[in-house]
Amino acid sequence: MKIKFFYIYILFSSKDYKLYIGYTENLKTRLGEHFHGRVIATKNRRPLILIHYEALTNKQDAKVRERFLKSGFGRSQLKKAIQNRLGELGYKYLN
């Protein structure tokens, strides 16, 4: 039985020092689209760095997780979980 994965990913913009949270069923392809300017939401925010991703085996769970991370509390929890990496990148909104 082959397991299908669904991904939530976090990109850091080296241009505006902000985060982008996304969902995809094909992480490699989607990152290529972001990095080559084919995604409207991030094309003017390049260069982008992948700083975090999670793989889940249920599509609905992944979508719920993405919505949570985009919420105020979820974003706050995310920042705490990856605060060291964000600090290395010069992210200014840790508090």
Q: Convert the pLDDT of each residue in 11-59 to its tens digit.
A: 999 999 999 999 999 999 999 999 999 999 999 999 999 999 999 999 9
pLDDT more than 70, % of the chain: 99
**Residue 33: other Cβ atoms inside 10 A:** 14
Give me the pLDDT at residue 86, please: 95
pLDDT tens digit sequence for 54-71: 999 999 999 999 999 999
Q: What is the CATH number of the domain that holds 22?
A: 3.40.1440
In a domain, 1, yes or no: no
Instruction: Provide the domain limits for residue 81.
Output: 6-89
Q: Is residue 30 part of a domain?
A: yes
Question: What is the model's pLDDT at position 92?
Answer: 81
Residue 40 counted as domain residue: yes
pTM: 0.94
CA distance to 3, 8, 54, 63, per residue, from 48 (Å) = 29, 16, 18, 22
pLDDT of residue 95: 65
